[in-house]
Amino acid sequence: MEEKDKRVALKIYYEGKCKEVTFEELCLSNNLAQEALVTLLIKKKIIEPKELMEMMDKIRKERYKTSEGKSESGATSGGKE
């Protein structure tokens, strides 16, 4: 994708300069920070990898809906269908 085709997610102003951050850059930055944080938490034995995976699965089932409006646990979204 050409630079002109990239959508700007946000603008950061620092010391009188403006830096445009694209959605792709923001996504990569968030992924890097998340991976570093998880790695440190596991390395320092604050969490166990299995515990992290279980929590991710729990949150996925509670929050993410299928195209039918149901969570992966089978609960409906609460709206009228």
pLDDT digits (tens, 9 = 90+) for 38-52: 999 999 999 999 999
Domain assignment present for residue 77? The answer is no
pLDDT at 71: 60
pTM: 0.64
Mean pLDDT of 15-20: 96
Domain assignment present for residue 45? The answer is yes
Domain assignment present for residue 24? The answer is yes
Domain assignment present for residue 76? The answer is no
Domain assignment present for residue 68? The answer is no
Range of the domain at 45: 3-63
pLDDT bin (cut points 50, 70, 90) of residue 13 is very high
Domain assignment present for residue 46? The answer is yes
Cβ-contact 37, 43 below 8 angstroms: no
* Residues forming beta bridges with residue 21, ordered by sequence position: 10
Domain count, the chain: 1
Domain assignment present for residue 21? The answer is yes
- How far is Cα 81 from Cα 65, in angstroms, rounded to an integer? 14
Mean pLDDT, the chain, whole residue set: 86
Contact partners, residue 81, CB within 8 Å, separation at least 6: 69
Segment holding 20, helix H or strand E: strand 17-22
Domain assignment present for residue 74? The answer is no
- How far is Cα 6 from Cα 56, in angstroms, rounded to an integer? 30
